[in-house]
Structure 1
């Protein structure tokens, strides 16, 4: 009997040692599986679903404002044509997004989140770093936002370099579309905290290599339960998904 108890204890201890921490649940463009992406409704839905972090995309428009939208063209999601960067805010306010929504400014998203969860701001457009940094600092200094609740990411590594020039301490995640291991040198140069790979380009060996280099892994965009489970088994630190409720 004692031998069985001892054996069971050893097995439990070994299992506990190999247990992986649950990854952060990161809402992609809010919760775009439920509400139109990058809208205030999508942001609020993600929060209602209990995410740890929300990912959004930003552009700088003609007047210098930072707005939250994914595409460089308005056509796919709105009733208006053309490039979002060619608009002034007064005209952009008239644009209707699918579902009757408006394109929000970054400040409106920050007001909605109110420091309750972390925010991953992806720099989609060129020349966004300086203004995004200014807005972040304002919310940290005047709106009681925790600096730890901001993380900046981009596929445009030059824009990440620009952000690092403006802000030596903000958390940076290097977005990678192809082999994420190839992003390690840039992540080191930027003193980044994470590499954000496309989940189909990630396997256990690559994940180990990224972790061994000292970086977290926030993988995108993982929606199917089987893929979510596979990423958990690999040991990623966060899962960016259109359906946050599927990760829990």
Structure 2
């Protein structure tokens, strides 16, 4: 019998719990997640918080996740961490809060979402001075993230769509575990970044799980393939049929409904 896939709780099973909160982390662990995935960015005071959208409120591409307004990295920490998430009593946590809440037998995947600027150049493989500038842009924030991740009893997996983020982690922690996040359209950039940093995992969108170059890339790098975002049993079936090692899912136990 094949080994079950690694279950990576996307934002702490975002379809089941208020995303990226302490309750989501604890709930995902209780539901049997192998790994909990969270997003991080800085507040205006430079503290690392667990949040996905750029804005606290409903504006631009942000979804109105909290009852507050403003660009996360422009707002003071007490405002950000005082914001209620999705109409619940849960507040936006710091990364330190999440690290403390996570059981030691559950892994942590920290997605480096933003260092506090819109100039992050996601989905690109950079070259020359552009790569150096991107790495330096991410470095101060990455250093704060790494200091908090050091409190984990288990090794943390760092992932990002941004080469600058992965470059900054690799420069500061040569042995850190990295995952390259692939965009939905441009396979080439993700593959280039994955090779460049000898990553430990490929985080591939469901739409790209059948890409013909995936088998060759994983064989060359010896990496795991984790598929995002799995939202129902049909997504899970497709991902596992394609040979995924893990599923980054919004709901618990989806891998149980993929046979027959």
Q: 2:9 aligns to what SS in structure 1? A: strand
* Correspondence 1:37 to 2:25: no
Kindly provide the CA deviation profile for residues 9-28 of structure 1, in whole angstroms up to 9, marking residues without a partner as x.
xxxxxxxxxx6432101100
Q: CA contact under 8 A between 1:180 and 1:202: conserved in structure 2?
A: no
Q: What's the counterpart of residue 90 of structure 2?
A: 101
* Correspondence 1:173 to 2:179: yes
* Correspondence 1:113 to 2:102: yes
* Correspondence 1:25 to 2:7: yes
Looking at structure 1, the residues matched to 188 and 252 of structure 2 have their Cα atoms a distance apart, in angstroms, of 26
TM-score if structure 1 supplies the norm length?
0.85
Q: What's the counterpart of residue 156 of structure 1?
A: 162
Looking at structure 1, the residues matched to 55 and 172 of structure 2 have their Cα atoms a distance apart, in angstroms, of 28
Q: 2:229 aligns to what SS in structure 1? A: coil
**Larger helix proportion of the pair:** 1
Looking at structure 1, the residues matched to 89 and 11 of structure 2 have their Cα atoms a distance apart, in angstroms, of 17
Alpha-carbon shift at residue 245 of structure 1 (Å): 1.5
Q: What's the counterpart of residue 126 of structure 2?
A: none
TM-score if structure 2 supplies the norm length?
0.81
Looking at structure 2, the residues matched to 134 and 110 of structure 1 have their Cα atoms a distance apart, in angstroms, of 11
Looking at structure 2, the residues matched to 63 and 193 of structure 1 have their Cα atoms a distance apart, in angstroms, of 32
Alpha-carbon shift at residue 159 of structure 1 (Å): 1.2
Residue range with higher mean Cα deviation, 76-85 or 180-189: 180-189
Looking at structure 1, the residues matched to 20 and 175 of structure 2 have their Cα atoms a distance apart, in angstroms, of 26
Kindly provide the CA deviation profile for residues 170-210 of structure 1, in whole angstroms up to 9, marking residues without a partner as x.
10001011244542221121121111111112206333123
Q: What's the counterpart of residue 4 of structure 1?
A: none
Please point out which of 34, 48, 53 is paired with 1:66: 48
Matches within 5 A, 1:1-248: 20-75=2-57, 76-98=64-86, 99-126=88-115, 127=138, 128-137=141-150, 139-140=151-152, 145-147=153-155, 150-177=156-183, 178-180=185-187, 182-203=189-210, 205-214=212-221, 215-248=223-256
Q: 1:213 aligns to what SS in structure 2? A: helix
How many pairs align?
Answer: 223
Question: Which residues of structure 2 form unaligned runs of 5+?
Answer: 58-63, 116-137
Structure of greater Rg: 1
Q: CA contact under 8 A between 2:8 and 2:34: conserved in structure 1?
A: yes
Looking at structure 2, the residues matched to 183 and 92 of structure 1 have their Cα atoms a distance apart, in angstroms, of 32
Cα RMSD of the aligned pairs, angstroms, is 1.6
Question: Which residues of structure 1 form unaligned runs of 5+?
Answer: 1-18
